[in-house]
Every structure is written in C-alpha cells, then in structure tokens.
Structure 1
Amino acid sequence: MPQPRTAIARPVIAIAGLGIESSTFSPARTGAAAFHPQRGPEVLSRYPFLAPGRPLADAADWRGALVGKALPGGMVTADAFAELSAELLDRLRATPHLDGVWFDIHGAMTVEGIDDAEAVLLARVREVVGPDVLVSTSMDLHGNVSRELAHLSDLITCYRMAPHEDHMETKERAARNLVHLLTTGAPRPVKAWVPVPVLLAGEQTSTRIEPGRGVYAAVEEVEAMDGVIDAAIWVGYAWADEPRNRAAVVVTGTSRDAVTAGAERLARGFWRARRDFAFVAPTGSLDACIDEALASTARPYFISDTGDNPTAGGAGDVTWGLRHVLARPEFQRPDGPAVIYASLPAPQAVAAALEAGVGATVTVTGGAAVDDRHAGPLTMTGVVHAVKRGDRDAVTEVVLRVGSVRVILTELRKPYHHEQDFTDLALDPRAADLVIVKIGYLEPELFAMAADWKLALTPGGVDQDLVRLGHRRIRRPMFPFDPDMADPDLTARVIAPADQPMTGADE
C-alpha cells in the first residue's frame, strides 16, 4: 500500500531537460550549441504559466537548472551529450533542498553510443537528487517511453494533439500535477505502461482526422476516471532505430485497477486503429503533386517536401526536391507561376548573395554538404530578392529569384512554419501560386493559409516510406513492418515507484 507523504506548503522544484528528435537515418550530427541551453532564471521565461503573479508560479519555488531544446536533426554527438548533461547535473547539485524535478524533454533524442538517452539522463538525475524527490516528465507524443523511463518518473505525460497546439498546456499539466502531489502529501502514483508494437510517422497519425482524433479523444475519457491522474498515448518516433522506438501508453493515478483498465483500453484502441491510419493529406511524387497544383485553381497551393523535413530530423540540405522544381519548364520563365521554395541551407551561396546585394544577379552553388545521398550540390543563377540577418535558427536568410521561383537560402537550417517567416523576406505566400515547404503536416498557420495541399513523398533522412528506410534494431514483430503479425499482448505492466527497484524487462 502506497504510503502518504508529508505535505509541503511551498515546494522547491527544479526544471531540467534536453529535447530533440534525432533521425538515425540522417548523416547529420547535432552539437551542444544547437540546444540553445538556458540556465537559472531564464529557464522560467520559457513558460508563460510561470510568469510572476500566475497561480502556479506562486505555488512553488521554481529553480531553473538547465533546459535545452534543439531543432530536430541528426544524432547528438557523445561529446555534446556529455557536456550538456554534466552541466545540468552540476546545476541540480547546486540547488539545495529539492522536493521535485520537472523533467521537460522531447523523448526522441538519440546519442552516439547510447540507447534510451532520456532514461540514461534521468537515471543520472536520480543519482544526484535522491530517491525521495518526485519527478514529473513532460514529452512530445512523438517521443519514446521505455519501461525504464516510466519507472524513473513519478508522473509522465505527453501532448494530445498533432500538430502540437497543446504543447504549453501539456507542460503546465505536468508542472501542476507535480505541485499537487507535493503540496497535498499524496502517495507516489501508480503507473500502468503498455508498449504497443506499432511505429508510424506523425503524418499518418495526425489528430486532425480519424482515426487519430478518436484514439486521442479517449485519453481525456480515461483521465476523467476515478483514481486516474493522467493518461497519455505516445505514437513514438519513426525515424530512429532503437529497441524503444514504438507506440506506448502510460496511465498514472491512485488506483491500480483504474490505471490498468485505462491503459489497456487506450492500448487496444490504438492497436485496433493501426490499419486505418492514413496520411493527413493526399500524397504523390513531387512531380505529380506539382502537376495537380498547376491544374488546380486553388491558390495558394501548398506542397510538403516531406523527406528532408528539418522539423522531423532531416538534414535540411537535400537538393533533390529543389532540383526537380527548377528543372520544370513552367518555372524557368520569370512570368511563370509564382513559386516559393523553403528552404535550402547553403552558407557559401548566402555569403555570395550578401556580398552582391539585393537586385544583383548571382550564380551560386549550395546544398548537399551534409546529406548528398540523393543529389549533389545545386548551382543556380538568379536575382537577389531579399536579405535578412539575425534569425535564431537560420542566422542569415537570402531569397534568390530563379525564373519564377523564389528560393529561400539559409546559413543554417530553419523550419518555415509562420506567415511572418515569409513576409519578413518580402514574400507574400497568400499571393503565390505554389508554396513548397520542407515540412510534413502543415503547421497551423500554413494549414489555415492553404487553399489546398498535398504531401510529396520525397527522399531524405525522414522518408515517409518507413519500410524502405531499413530499420534493424526495433523490436519485431512491429506494424507496419510485419503487417500480418498476430495480436500482441497488451496487458498493462504496473511499474514500481521510482524509489523501489524496477522488476521485469522492457519487453
């Protein structure tokens, strides 16, 4: 029987975590600087609900340790993980009398030579803070939950929407539930974990449409059950190859029977829906998508160049898609259909355009410096249309007008998710005929702007054709890699509290 704890009127809670999606199918590597780590009081500025005067801010003494979030990319280098985790742990050691830790992560970080990096990091956090400190873990639903990570966390939750319009709401829930446990002296929660042998891309599991909408609607129903604190379904991260990569369910609460029943209900619902998940938009080859866009009267027409999506872990500098666009005869005349292409990291091309200045005609070469498996560097001649310096991700951006295509070139990778990303570069996406973006499902602003859109199935480190990528280390059988596999055991595994030894294997 769980034992009550001493209630703490105003607990001291540290905030720590490292977050990234890391594609093991991309040749890119991610260094420490890419995480843009924040420390001390600046960590609190990440979370509007911890602003001074907000109820949750006043309910605890919040201490920022270190939080770093990187743009999705390639595997994190061993040196970067060692550097960042060492500083994170040192900062926790320097924070006396901790009652709780909010572990704010993504859940899909792969580190050179380390499996299940988040569980490894949390185990080290536990060594520093001790077994009595309560930990609440918040994650992306495209993260991975091993049994070890669930065991080391007292509370664990993830987003319920894809796209992640509830990302801040989820973080607030994780923090609020932790404060509640500490201030009421409630026993450590019971956790029920169910690994589900399904691994699908986010573009196939969006909650905008069925069956994802219905599968995730059941999460709130389970959370509302007596004896349940929180419920969560993780889709998992499809573009990494580790034994933990798969879907998972965790339900947390005060009642063993309730969390077990809730977890099994959610797991069965996800498994039953596995064959019904489909891409969130019509798909096709890039050329087929362009043909359909040109034949349509819908404007602007968006096309997702999905295989090199930097917000899923692509290197961002695959030239295959842009090469196909510029080769189309329709776009080789300045008076052709107005096209915006976002984007291609090409630092030397950006430097040459900067030197030449707006209005100059330049010939530049770029791309394929990281991922040259599908096409080599691309040479373009065009007019410099716009220049912007100081972007957090891109650093410097240049727009090059090549025929009727406005090509956005960047010093470093950048995702283009907002209308302002384009208008800041003297581009009007609403007036364009086609907007081709390296992305998967359209983020909310783009989705609202698009009169129509399609997903182009293009090559890259986050190829949507998962079976052809070549996973070797995931646990088999796994759907869709083994489409005719037998129904799995979806019995909930009740996880021991973090202050007790873990029993059973991560199966």
Structure 2
Amino acid sequence: MSVPSRPVIAIAGLGIESSTFSPARTEAPAFHPLRGADVLTRYPFLAPGQPLRDAADWRGALVGKALPGGTVTAAAFAELSGELLDRLRASGPLDGLWFDIHGAMTVEGLDDAEAVLLARIREVTGPDVIVSTSMDLHGNVSRDLVHRTDLITCYRMAPHEDAMETKERAARNLVEHLVSGAPRPVKAWVPVPVLLAGEQTSTRIEPARSLYAAVAEVAAADGVTDAAVWVGYAWADEPRNRAAVVVTGPEPDAVRAGAERLAHGFWAARHDFAFVAPTGTLDACLDAALASASRPYFVSDTGDNPTAGGAGDVTWGLEQVLARPEFKDPAGPSVLYASLPGPDAVDTAVRAGVGATVTVTAGADVDDRHAGPLTLTGVVHAVRHGDRDAETEVVLRVGSVHVILTRLRKPYHHEHDFTNLDLDPRGADVVIVKIGYLEPELFAMAADWKMALTPGGVDQELTRLGHHRIHRPMFPFDPEMADPELRARIVPPSNQP
C-alpha cells in the first residue's frame, strides 16, 4: 500500500450507555452532536499547534455523546447515523477513520448497534480505510465489532481518569500505522464469560488494579501495538454483554499470548471482585453516616445512577430520606440530596423565587416502578438557569435536607455542581448522590462513604434484574460454571470476510 505523508482521517461516532432495564428512551438531541470542524474541539490533543493535529488532515464528520440513559429510539439512531454517513460521503477519499464510541449503545430493534453502525460506515468509506476504535471499558466487544475495525482500545482506569489519554492513544496509533505503511494489524479476541457492575471492578482496588496494570505490560511487549480489557456493560441484556480482551499488533504469536494472559487473569480473579466501597441498605448507610464523626459523609444512591443509565427520577431514595425523623427539623443534621427531575416543580419554585415556601411534586415521570411521584414542601434556597444537562436547577430545603430538583436529569460529579447552587458539600454532614463509585472530585472530598443498594434501572444486585438474552453460563449468574476455553480467536482483517 502507498504511504501517505499526511494521511486524511475522518472522526465519527455515537456514544451512550443504554440500560435496557430502564423504561426511559433516548432521543437524538440527547447526543448533543458536533459536526465538521467543531468535532475537533472535543479533543485537546487536536487543538491547533498540537503535534498530532499537524500529523494528519483531520476531518470531523459527526460525533455525539449522550448522558447514559435508556434505549435509543430507532428514529434517533436513523437520524444521527444517517447524517453521520452523509457527512462521511462528503469528506472525500479517506486513509483512516477514528471511530470514537462508548460501546454500550442499545437501539430499538438492533443488537450490537456499534458494529451495525461501523458496517454502514464501511459501505461508505470502502474496505481500504484503516479504522481505529476508542471505547469505554464498560463497552461491549463482539466479534463483528473487532472484525470491522483494525485497531481498538479502551480506558484502563475506572473511574475514567484516562479517558482523553485513551482517545489520544487511539488517534496516535492510527496515524502511526498509516504513516508506516504496515499491513493491517493482527487482532486477537477473547470473550470472557463474566459480567460485573463497574462498582465491582474499579481500578482503585484489587483485583482490577493489578489486572489493568497487566494491560500496560502486554501493550509494551514486542510485536504488540495495543491491548485492552473490557469489563462490559452489566445493565443491558444483549448477547454481546460480557467481558472481553483484544490485543492488536504485527506479530500473531505476541498478540495471541498477550490476549490469553489477560483473559486468564480476568477469569482467575472473578471471585475476588468486590464493591469499591462498603454497601448496605439505604437506612443502614444513613445510620452509619449519622453515627460517624467523619464529615462530609457521602452515600451513593446507586440504583438510579444517571451516569450508568438510570432514569434519574426514581423517588424511592429521597422518600426514605425525608421520612427519617432526624431530618425533620431544619436544625437537624445537614443533608444534600442530588438529585430529582421535576420540570413542573422547578417551574413553581422559579416563579415563587428564593426564600418562598412552596409545595411541589416531582419524580417518577419515567420510572415509577419503585415509588410514585413525591410531594414535598420546603423553602426555595437557590435557582440556577443554563446548565447543559439540567437546564434549570432549584434547591428546596425540606427540614434539614437540601433537595436539588432539575428540569432534566443531571449527574452531580463536581464540587462546583453544588457550590453553584449556594451549597457547601464540604460543610455538610451527609451528601447523598445518585451515583455508583464516587467520581474523583467527590472521592477526594468524602471523609467516608458507603454505597446504598437501592432499586432502579441500574440496580447493583445484577441477579435480580432478569437477564435472559446473555450467553450462559455466565459468572456470577452461574457461580459454579466450569472453566471456559479462553483461547484467543485471530479475527480476520476488516477487508476480508
């Protein structure tokens, strides 16, 4: 093949985690798609003057990333993928494509949506274009996806502090491969029959810490370009959902040995994976928080975590909090609760203004399986407009609990998410957040924390969700299953059947 001195590379992708156990549906606007030159602004390493920017002619097609949520509607996928393909057609001849996805998108009527999208992309770009795919480690990697890509990698940290580093690695690997003129990489794929929640596989603790340290060792070996381990996405029910390993590089023996080393390491550690924090019922976690001298004490309301795909509007947790006698008095222990969507409640509070006492009803508009809409009376503490996710936020003080209500669901991961609402999370007694493992800023802020095993579309108790389409046997659904054959499959190049 010819060696382009400055290859022409398009960037495209759609990313979301879609819980099939949530009744929510995701529409096209949720992806906030960027188009054309605006796509490059997502990536600091492609800013003007950066070496990687100058190493290729980058052409943005369409990249959209949505807050995790429910299944993507067929109409939304048709709209976004159709525009993405049209923009690729208009990009002209390409040497490479960077496919920037999450890997856990479920679309109505489709299995393996990312592989379907890449197949359609291949029809537009032709078989000779080299594709590099970057993913979240909570994505799913089918044989079809591996077949249709040439280079593939994922995050090596959970929480995902290396997200941008991973994307840069995928882009750099692509440029270096194109410039080298080397044959298509060899791809060794091993599906691993384990499906665990992200909160059980955090790289902050063992065994995931050592497992992912081994990824870097394999990637550094002679004959290997990159190595990756996917935990998979536990809150969707599709045949592709499971852990997986892929190692790519020029030497078949090296990539095969590296992939099998990582797969055997994952399987051997399956019984050692544990939640990244102590767990319990919500009441037990609140009891522990109130008994502790550690402040602020964080409690994760895990079952409705919007950044894992929960609807975000389950009222069950907040209902339990407000029922606690300790929090009835405004002089009681100070509690921050984030958050609950309620557009009508937000409108009422905005009209009344800060300082007014209002009675509003919020929540359970999407997911009412565990509790109904919640009516609460409190004082409007703060109002804020213009948030990218929530649009409008209000804080209602009910007893000693400051409840954040939003027009649209929003994750609360940063200190400024609270301070922008005139709340002081460092000075609170208890901070309750709809989240799984604490994101880095919250983790650094918490004097102590626990994970409450609460109901919702991303319930941490996986075996009670009702998976019936995943490949069985699968750990932990079949805890006594026999050892699987963890043989690396050498997947044919993308331009071969």
Q: For the superposition of Structure 1 and Structure 2, which TM-score range results when normalised by the shorter chain?
A: over 0.9
Following superposition of structure 1 onto structure 2, how do residues 341-380 of structure 1 map, counting pairs within 5 Å?
Answer: 341-380=337-376
1:328-387 C-alpha deviation (Å, 9 max, x unpaired): 000000000000000000000000000000000000001000000000000000000000
Q: Secondary structure at the residue paired with 1:353?
A: helix
* C-alpha separation in 2, matches of 1:349 and 1:87: 36
Matched, 1:45 2:35: no
- Partner residue of 1:195 out of 165, 171, 191: 191
Query: C-alpha offsets along residues 269-316 of structure 1, whole Å, 9 cap, x if unaligned?
Result: 000000000000000000000000000000000000000000000000
1:416 counterpart = 2:432 = no
Q: Deviations over 1:452-501 (max 9, x none)?
A: 00000000000000000000100000000000000001000001000000
Percent identity between the two aligned chains: 81
Distance 1:166 1:187 in 2: 29
- Specify which of 193, 208, 213 is matched with residue 217 of structure 1: 213
Q: How does 1:314-329 map to 2 (within 5 A)?
A: 314-329=310-325
Residue equivalent to 2:102 = 106
Q: Aligned equivalents of 1:167 and 1:257: distance in 2?
A: 29
What amino acid is the match of 1:321? G
The residue number in structure 1 matching 2:330 is 334
DSSP-derived class of the 1:43 partner: helix
Q: Are 1:85 and 2:89 counterparts?
A: no
2:93–2:125 CA contact under 8 A, matched in 1: no
* Partner secondary structure for residue 275 of structure 1: helix
Q: Distance in 2 between matches of 1:193 and 1:421?
A: 40
Matched, 1:293 2:289: yes
Alignment partner for residue 402 of structure 1, among 393, 398, 405?
Answer: 398
Q: How far is the alpha carbon of 1:161 from its aligned partner? A: 0.1
Letter in 2 for 1:204: Q
**TM-score in terms of structure 2 length:** 1.00
Shift of 1:7: 1.2
Please state if 1:468 is matched with 2:464.
yes
Q: CA deviation at 1:184?
A: 1.2
C-alpha separation in 1, matches of 2:335 and 2:220: 48
2:486 paired with 1:494: no
Q: Is the 2:10–2:94 contact (alpha carbons within 8 Å) kept by the matching residues of 1? A: yes
Q: Mark the runs of 5 or more structure 1 residues left unpaired by the alignment.
A: 502-507
Name the structure 2 match of 1:131.
127
Q: Give the TM-score taking structure 1 as reference length.
A: 0.98
- Give distance in 2, aligned partners of 1:394 and 1:274: 38
Q: Distance in 2 between matches of 1:295 and 1:184?
A: 62
- Correspondence for 1:389 among 362, 378, 385: 385
Distance in 2 separating the partners of 1:378 and 1:499:
55
Partners of 2:370 and 2:71 lie apart in 1 by: 20
The runs of 5 or more residues in structure 2 that have no matched partner are none
CA distance in 1, matches of 2:33, 2:73: 16
**How many matched pairs?**
497
Partner of 1:479: 475
Q: Distance in 2 between matches of 1:218 and 1:485?
A: 25
1:248 maps to 2:261: no
Mapped partners of 1:428, 1:328: distance in 2: 22
Letter in 1 for 2:162: D
Q: Deviations over 1:105-154 (max 9, x none)?
A: 00000000100000000000000000000000000000000000000000
Please identify runs of 4+ aligned residues in structure 1 that moved more than 3 A. Answer: none
Cα RMSD between the aligned structures? 0.3
Match of 2:304 in 1: 308
The answer as to whether partners of 2:72 and 2:105 remain within 8 angstroms in 1 is yes
